[in-house]
Amino acid sequence: MGSLLFVGHTLGSAQAPRPHAVMAAAMVDPASLRPASVDPASVNPAANNPASQAMPRVGPEAKPGVAQALPNLPPALPGGGPVQVAGPAPGARLAPGQGPFGSVVGTGANNVALTFDDGPEPTWTPQVLEVLRDAGIRATFCLIGENVVRFPELVRAIVADGHTLCNHTWNHNLTLGDLSKDAIRDDMARANAAIGAAAPGVPVSYFRAPGGNWTAGIVDVAGELDMTSLDWTVDPQDWNRPPTASIIATITKSCQPGAIILLHDGGGDRSNTVEALRSFLPDLIRTATFVSLPAGAG
């Protein structure tokens, strides 16, 4: 594993719905889950981020026959290794990318970003934080407002460890995009207010749509609230509790320069996710540089 290189390996799985809906069982009729209706490769190609342009979606979200080549990827990381930083990565937040409706699908550099959705959650978030701390890396946490209100101390723990925050709606509404823009704005603002109450002054520079169910309205309103819409590159579907080995295999085979990796620290039993992290991070940090996404100004 120590010789793991970034290679253009894609998993040729069939197009799958994007349930990513760990909260859905209790809150939403699964029949209402919508598959991705938009081909990311066909939407908003006016990305201004070279790495994002070069970054195919990898994992179960990948469309067969689309973006299987890896043109113009940055070279393999020289040295790699963990990043020792005191806070979120410096610099301006990521610009709109080549994901659905201009959402970001890559870090825009050689760096790799781990993102954790659906927390904070008192059992799993601290374990994820511990693993990241042991590895000496920073990540990005996409928080659900209702969880933030219940566990504000966990938000502060995330911030104290230097991770970047992302808004993941008030209550993980998978059909947020069906609402009016005013209602979308209210939802996002409510979650931001909760995060702001838990961790005053900490920027929330990103928004991630539950289930990746992006719409133009969601991306527009997120922009109005000064948040960049954050999609992902690699999805091991850990929300569905696949075997730990499956999570590890998807990530180690797909962890290319610029990748944004989707994982979960909330929404259910995340023991397999934590176990996978403990397994793959010690190896991957020798070849990949993991970063929190730049949060920009507060």
**Active site members:** 117, 264
Binding mask 240-259 for Zn ion (x = CB under 5 A): --------------------
Using the minimum distance from each CB to Zn ion, give the nearer residue, 80 or 266: 266
**C-beta separation of 103 from 57 below 8 A:** no
Q: How far is the CB of 176 from Zn ion (least distance, A)?
A: 11
User: Which of 19, 8, 4 has its CA nearest to residue 237?
Assistant: 19
Cis peptide bond prior to 243, omega within 30° of 0: no
Binding mask 86-125 for Zn ion (x = CB under 5 A): -------------------------------xx-------
Burial of residue 64 (CB within 10 Å: 0-12, 13-18, 19+) is exposed
Using the minimum distance from each CB to Zn ion, give the nearer residue, 60 or 80: 60
Scan residues 210-229 and list those touching Zn ion (CB under 5 A): 210
- Taking CB under 5 A as the binding criterion, the range among 39-47, 205-213, 227-235, 287-295 that sits at the site for Zn ion is 205-213
**C-beta separation of 290 from 143 below 8 A:** no
Count of residues engaged in binding Zn ion, rule: CB under 5 A: 3
Q: Per rule CB under 5 A, is residue 265 in the interface with Zn ion?
A: no
Q: How far is the CB of 235 from Zn ion (least distance, A)?
A: 11
- Taking CB under 5 A as the binding criterion, the range among 6-14, 190-198, 209-217, 225-233 that sits at the site for Zn ion is 209-217
Give the residue carrying structure tokens 């962890």: 255
Q: How far is the CB of 91 from Zn ion (least distance, A)?
A: 26
Distance CA 238, CA 247 (A): 6
Q: Which residues bind Zn ion (CB under 5 A)?
A: 117-118, 210
